[in-house]
Amino acid sequence: MSAYDALEARFRRLGLLGGAAGILHWDWATMMPPGGAEPRAAQLAELALIRHELLTDARVPDLLDEAEAQAETLDDWQRANLGRMRRRWRQAAALPADLVQALSEASSHCEMVWREARPASDFAAFAQAFAPLLGLVREKASALGESLGCAPYDGLVDSNEPGLRCATIDPLFDDLADFLPEFLGRVQEAQAGADAPLVVSGTVEAQQALAKRLMTALGFDFDHGRLDVSLHPFCGGSAGDIRITTRYDEADVLSGLMGALHETGHALYEAGLPEAWRYQPVGQAGGMALHESQSLLIEMQACRSRPFMRFLAPLLAEHLDGGAASADAEALYRQAIRVEPGYIRVDSDEVTYPAHIMLRYRLERALIADDLACDEIPGAWAEIHQDLLGLRPRNDAEGCLQDIHWSVGELGYFPSYTIGTLMAAQFFDATARAEPELWPAIERGDFSPLFGWLRANVHGLASRYEGPALLERATGAPLGTTVFKAHLQRRYLD
């Protein structure tokens, strides 16, 4: 067996173990009884340790060196795979095994505490579990930063989106911070004079049936996936068995539906990755910003559009037993693009959404730099929220406890959402230019032009190219804010 073949065999084992962990995480969030938390945390920690040991085995760097010396015998996909293997090994080798295990155990414990602390708005209880987890995340950040030759927080960002640094994020966020406040004012002024939007209500059962119908129309295969309910919507599971969740609001049907459609975007990206490379690094997602671009492309670009609402309106009337029979697509569209600063990130509109990410970005950098103590988070959150959105959270449940990410140790992830927003606008714009029938097809509930382009230019390339390179290859332009701002102008003011 060649060195490269030996590496492929090893990474296949890693991929299979990762899939098993994915299913255990899904069960944790959806069906596991509370009493199962302690043994499940131990199981997940053990899997994390086994995967870490497989990746950091003393033979791996020698195999990488040998395979790289024979790279001329490999094809383009294999060479790209070898590069991704080297990257995975470098990241894993930077972290001691005991830190990996401790992080897994602490994040499992903290998430269970968060589940009870969030509805009770009990930050003090959450902080008792989060403070030690934060200490471990700081250790991880320092180790990654030292390995990559970058700042600790950049090390965390890089672990989510390869190659991304604050030096790239800052000017993009600064540009949006300059543009959005004045734009928000103009949009609110324009919407104040418009007809009232329509807020549709419906039972959870009716919403779930409609969500499944819409997911099927988009291309989700229920023979290879599920839709369930969780406290925080997510997409997980394993290759070929994709599990997504949403949460429903009986007073506002669009809220739960858009959550399901957002996660369907993630799921269809996973389903579109090349099966031949399923368990290899090159066959997996090209980064979390790229992943978020695919969910935001579906939710924000396609499904909050006027053509999609024309497709959705009669389905709402059918599934809600006439409750939406008087609704017209235009009234639904006005609700789908309603702009109003609010407290909850996942329910926010695309004009104010970047402010929610900027808030978390500022706090995360301060936390990792040890410039902000754990018990100072609520006050700092409230101050920045007031500054960026003009609102002060009334409690911690609608403030710093609303997201699951910090409770599972995911600091450095949040920038991926806004970078993904920018990428989504560029990908969708490129699709519309390449597929003249895109909008008429969406109005008919036909998403084949959209996914045909995405399969060829994004999904099917997996990690052969890293996110920014893939974006420029697919769209002809580097990452920037211009296309996103033009999209907002067309949708909200033109």
Residues annotated as catalytic (active site), given as ranges: 263
The neighbour count for residue 306, using CB atoms within 10 Å, is: 17
Amino acid at 6: A
Q: Which of 183, 226, 227 is nearest to 207 (CA)?
A: 227
Stated as kind and residue range, the H or E segment containing 237 is: strand 235-238
Distance of alpha carbon 292 from alpha carbon 302, whole angstroms: 14
Cα(376)–Cα(445) distance, integer angstroms: 48
CA distances from 173 to 66, 288, 414, 480, 483 (A): 42, 17, 12, 10, 15
Residue identified by tokens 């990130």 is 345
Tokens 């033109």, residue located: 494
> Which SS3 state, helix, strand or coil, does residue 197 take?
coil
Task: Write down the residue that tokens 């990206």 correspond to.
Answer: 269
Q: State how beta strands 225-229 and 235-238 pair.
A: unpaired
Q: Among 379, 358, 376, which residue's Cα sits nearest to residue 367?
A: 376
DSSP 3-state of 260: helix
d(CA 58, CA 483): 47
Q: In whole angstroms, what is the distance from residue 2 CA to residue 78 CA?
A: 13
Question: CA 369 to CA 155: how far, in whole Å?
Answer: 12
Strand partners of residue 238: 241
Q: E-strand spans in 394-437?
A: none
Tell me how crowded residue 53 is: count the other CB atoms within 10 A of its CB: 12
8 Å CB contact between 130 and 86: no
Nearest by Cα to 85 from 57, 45, 104: 57
In contact, 111 and 404? CB cutoff 8 Å: yes
| Cα dihedral value 347, 169, 461, 26, nearest 10 | -40
Indicate the DSSP class of residue 195: P
H-only helix segments in 329-414: 329-336, 353-368, 377-389
List the one residue out of 421, 456, 414, 418 whose CA is nearest residue 435: 456
What distance in Å separates the CA atoms of residue 461 and residue 458, rounded to the nearest whole number? 6
Q: Is 237 left (phi over 0), alpha (psi -120 to 50) or beta?
A: left
